[in-house]
Chains A and B, each alone.
Chain A
């Protein structure tokens, strides 16, 4: 199914998503400050709102340094990949009835595919930098991505079973009666954890791990190339928050307010949650990270799938 106004939606979503992502930088700093009993950026413009602008100007004005020992083409392409893959995922997100760029029937699979591709950005950046810390960061990212991608997909299969479709629009429509958070609570938790890991957010920021690896895969990056990683991360958070909204919290659905507002409210709630998690939780060791993925999360995801399937078989035949 094709959206009624694909070009308008494309431009609209792109603008909104990008401004949310950059605005998030300000929001995150203000929220972190709030929870740490500080003020955060409050000097540039009203409430420090122009801080992002100032930072952007600073990043643009900085020397765009490519280390002489780097693999130059790969070094340049790497930050672009993350931007592209994450932005591609937004193409299949149903924001509200009619506001969607491409209503793919396999949208969920497309989302999973794109988020997996994103890891290339990190791995290539780490490798192209020709720096041991960057390389370690890249390796960690690869391993982390592989491990968490597996049960991320599996944790969503329950929803697919319930909705009977890979189309995100269908999934939202399937939540008319009840949000999938209720039948799929375990799936939600698993997806939340996987989403955090997928976006390499704290507490799962092991590829960066500034206390261990300088700045991990982007140690050698500066200027706007670093800015792309930076924005890419916030795009990722926005994407995961939007996906949680769509998959488990009924997407745009809600009383009184227009659908798009509901969608934004729900998305921002999860964005806030992501930041709260960052403010609260410490980073695990890498072996713990791996152990959780394979020994805890994967079995739980499988169990969730089995139980969902069994219940469906038993009651909704």
Chain B
């Protein structure tokens, strides 16, 4: 009997305690930079699209919500013709970012992407592309890769010798 009264009193005393609820839209929560939210496609430091349409994000995606099609410009630089993420399926696991060999696909600390129509949760490349390098400044896949693209001839990548002269046979 006493315990019941005591309980009532203890509960009543909570009237004077601080509330733990955070008034979210007015008081935004702090999200760490590595928070796994809305996915973006970043650009390399030169401003070109980082995505080389290698399909690794698509295969890594456990819910298969990434679809893209690779294409190539006339100079051999590969990029996605379209790149689609169905955010109504995305589980924000971040595997795509782990899989991405060019730091193109990145998860950002933003989760405020509710829509009244589910269809609007389908993001195309135009919706995903940002203008900067995101979390990884400085990296440019094309400076490391061995293929030739516009503005980078054979042998001009990092740690490459100039192209072999096939006409000389000196050992």
Contact = CB atoms under 8 A, between A and B. Distances in A.
Report A-B touching, CB under 8 Å: yes
A276 interface: yes
Contacts of A37: 14, 17-21
A143 interface: no
B21 A39 contact: yes
Interface in A9-59: 33-39
A189 B145 CA distance: 83
Contacts of B19: 33, 37-39
A36 B8 contact: no
Contact of A35 (B4, B12, B21): B12
B128 to A, nearest CB: 32
B20 A35 contact: no
A39 B17 CA distance: 12
Interface stretch (A100-108, A208-216, A277-285): A277-285
Contact of A280 (B11, B15, B17, B23): B11
Interface residues of B, number: 14
Contacts of B12: 35, 276
A202 to B, nearest CB: 12
Nearest to A279: B11
A30 B21 CA distance: 13
A34 B14 contact: yes
Interface of chain B: mostly helix, strand, loop or mixed: helix
Contacts of A279: 11
Contacts of A38: 19-21
A300 to B, nearest CB: 12
B88 interface: no
A33 B15 CA distance: 9
Interface string B1-36: 000100110111011011111010000000000000
A277 B14 CA distance: 14
Contacts of B18: 37
Nearest to A40: B21
Given A276-B8, A280-B7, A39 B14 contact: no
Nearest to A34: B15
Contacts of B8: 276-277, 280-281
A280 B4 CA distance: 8
B14 A281 contact: no
Nearest to B1: A189
A188 to B, nearest CB: 14
A276 B19 CA distance: 17
Contacts of A35: 11-12, 14-15
B164 to A, nearest CB: 70
A33 B18 CA distance: 12
22 contacts: A33-B19, A35-B11, A35-B15, A36-B14, A37-B14, A37-B17, A37-B19, A37-B20, A38-B19, A39-B19, A39-B21, A39-B23, A276-B8, A276-B11, A276-B12, A277-B8, A279-B11, A280-B4, A280-B7, A280-B11, A281-B7, A281-B8
Lowest 7 CB-CB distances: which A-B pairs, in order? A280-B11, A35-B14, A280-B7, A38-B21, A39-B21, A280-B8, A35-B11
Given A39-B21, A276-B12, A280-B11, 16 more contacts: A33-B19, A34-B14, A34-B15, A35-B11, A35-B12, A37-B17, A37-B18, A37-B21, A38-B19, A38-B20, A38-B21, A39-B19, A39-B23, A276-B11, A277-B8, A280-B7
